[in-house]
Amino acid sequence: MYKTPANYKPILARRETEHAIVAIKHFFQTSLSTELNLTRVTAPLFVPSGLGINDDLNGVEKPVSFAVKEMGGQRMEIVQSLAKWKRLKVTEMGCKPGFGIYTDMNAIRPDETLDAIHSLYVDQWDWELCIDEKDRNVFFLLDIVKKVYRSLKRTEFYIFDHYSKLSPILPEEIKLIYSDDLQREYPKLSPKERENAAAKKYGAVFIIGIGGKLPDGSLHDGRAPDYDDWITESGDGHVGLNGDLLLWDSILGTALELSSMGIRVSPESLRAQLKERGMEERAELDFHKRLLNGELSFTLGGGIGQSRLCMFLLRKAHIGETQVSAWPKSVRQECNAAGIPLL
């Protein structure tokens, strides 16, 4: 069963919501691309199987795949994210450090557990920035995090200026905190409970170091071993050059993960992470060979949920109010009874 908020009433009607979604997407991507020097590119919906280009996200998800008749039955996979494809594209385009790309990423994730913020259909802005090797450090990462957050704040005000009932609620600054420090602050809570506590306390938080081992040997959350660098030391005993950006969703009373981003693996950290996960055979895949041979640009990148951003800014109770997807009959019935109009 889905936990629906009591006495929920949408602030914007259906037509206003559709107009606002368009406005948010247009304004935010313009702001983000200007802030980070990103050029818009066209992205694939599917990629060839077996080359190591598609992403495993937490390391266990299985992509939707199909055979292509006109290509001798070669199998293609619907993308789950574009983390590795973007790095190839930045390299192919010859982007200089300080410049990069962004695109619309659309995906199907059939293994997703459906709830108010998770859908089978994923729509996000995927972006990738070329960087110097010397910028592979946590300070550079956090500077980019602050720029992304500025674009969020700017978009929030833009929507308020057009819809006065949607007053700004984001704090002026985003809180930056390491996953191991968060564990020490809330030692009796699970990772998700720690995220909720931090997001509620600060309003907006970036948790640094996702995928590597915490001091007690546990993981804050999973990450595949071949895109984000979660094993490199970041100083003061901390590990990881990546993280998750969370906002406090006052409608749902929970943390809303809006973005994951990170400095991408170097040849050295890729080898270490593949060994850590027992996946050293991946080093023989085409993408991984090129990376290990030093053929790919150093990059930093991430994804930002489009429907989730719209959901947050428009004070919606369900992601199905800002995107069209497939939902079990029971979910539609429950949402209808709670006054939640799914698209």
Tell me the pLDDT tens digit for each residue of 235-263: 999 999 999 999 999 999 999 999 999 99
Q: What pLDDT is attached to residue 50?
A: 77
pLDDT in tens, 194-228: 999 999 999 999 999 999 999 888 899 988 899 99
Q: Maximum distance among all alpha carbons in the chain?
A: 58
111 noted as active-site residue = no
According to DSSP, the residues that pair with 233 across neighbouring strands are 239
What is the reported pLDDT for 58? 52
CA distance 247 to 174: 9
Q: Exactly one of 226, 244, 249, 321 is catalytic; which is it? A: 244
User: Among 29, 31, 33, 55, which one carries the catalytic annotation?
Assistant: 55
Is 260 labeled as catalytic in the residue annotation? yes
**Residues of 31-49 as b/e, b for ≥16 C-beta within 10 angstroms?**
bbbebbebeebebbebbbb
Q: Of 81, 151, 260, 269, which one is the catalytic site residue?
A: 260
Per-range mean pLDDT, top range of 167-176, 279-288, 323-332: 167-176
Q: Are 179 and 205 in contact (CB under 8 A)?
A: no
Phi and psi angles of residue 53, each rounded to the nearest 5 degrees, phi first:
-80, -35
Is there a catalytic annotation at residue 55? yes
pLDDT over 80 at 152, yes or no: yes
pTM summary value = 0.92
Q: What is the predicted pLDDT for the residue at 57?
A: 52
d(CA 175, CA 146): 10
Determine the pLDDT at residue 272.
Answer: 96
Tell me if residue 179 is catalytic.
no
**What is the DSSP track for 86-114?**
HHHHHHHHTPPTT-EEEEEEEEE-TTPPP
Q: State the sign of the Cα–Cα–Cα–Cα dihedral 239, 179, 265, 90.
A: negative
Confidence at 1, pLDDT banded by 50, 70, 90: very low
Catalytic residue among 123, 126, 249, 257: 257
Element (H, E) at 141: helix 138-162
User: Out of 31, 77, 109, 323, which one is annotated catalytic?
Assistant: 109
**Active site includes 333?**
no
Annotated active-site residue 56? The verdict is no
Among 1.10.3470.10, 3.30.930.10, 3.40.50.720, 3.80.30.20, what is the CATH number of 14-337?
3.30.930.10
Residue of 31, 81, 124, 306 with catalytic role:
124
